[in-house]
Amino acid sequence: MADEFTPEPHTSGNATSGRLDLIDVGVWKRVSPKYLVVEIVGTLLFGLIACGVAAFLWLVAEQTWALIAGAAVALITIITLIFEPRRLRSIGYQLRADDLLFRRGIMFQRFVSVPYGRMQLVDITRGPIARWLGLADLKFVTAAAATGVVIPGLPEADAEELRDQLVALAESRRAGL
């Protein structure tokens, strides 16, 4: 199963105010550390292609602005690669009694609670690099477009087990409506 970590106690809220209490939510499950390879390869490919286009425009089409754009893309790619491990450690999910709680983000943290009864589709996707590493992404679709959640970098067996578990929970909760 995916690594686990405890939440950082920096978010406030309480049950009496109707807000989501994130201080004592329990143990978060992490994505696979192998997912870092997927993100690094994707970032490097994008950076290399963008820098290649900029170099082509600068050398062949004699566009001087392309040199500046290429340097900016290279700098952003390097910064992204530096922050990638920390960004991936911030991704986590937790199965609770009535919902799935998902967390991601370093500076701008996002917490999404997806009630089991509202799940309409639980989908598994595998890109070529993720498939080579035995990883998959689990996507939840609800009626509200803003609550679409993707848990990336789960081991394939864990993703399939979690999908089956969530489908069963969603069916039982919808039956009770």
Q: What are 8's two structure tokens?
A: 């950082």
- Mean residue pLDDT of the chain comes to 85
Query: Cα(125)–Cα(159) distance, rounded to whole angstroms?
Result: 10
Residues in Cβ contact with 108 at an 8 Å cutoff, skipping those fewer than 6 apart? none
Any idea where the domains of the chain sit in the sequence? 4-31+91-175, 35-87
Residue 5 confidence class, pLDDT cut points 50, 70, 90: very low
pLDDT tens for residues 71-93?
999 999 999 999 999 999 999 99
Span 137-145, mean pLDDT?
84
pTM of the model: 0.79
Question: Would you call 78 exposed, middle or buried from its count of C-beta atoms within 10 A (0-12, 13-18, 19+)?
Answer: exposed
pLDDT tens for residues 11-68?
444 444 455 555 566 789 999 999 999 999 999 999 999 999 999 999 999 999 999 9
Residue 171 confidence class, pLDDT cut points 50, 70, 90: confident
- Domain 4-31+91-175 indexed as CATH 2.40.30: no
Q: What are 24's two structure tokens?
A: 């004592």
> Amino acid identity of 20?
L
Query: Cα(35)–Cα(25) distance, rounded to whole angstroms?
Result: 25
pLDDT value for 7:
44
For the chain, percent of residues with pLDDT exceeding 90? 60
Query: Under a CB-based contact definition with an 8 Å cutoff, are residues 31 and 38 in contact?
Result: no
Span 155-162, mean pLDDT?
95
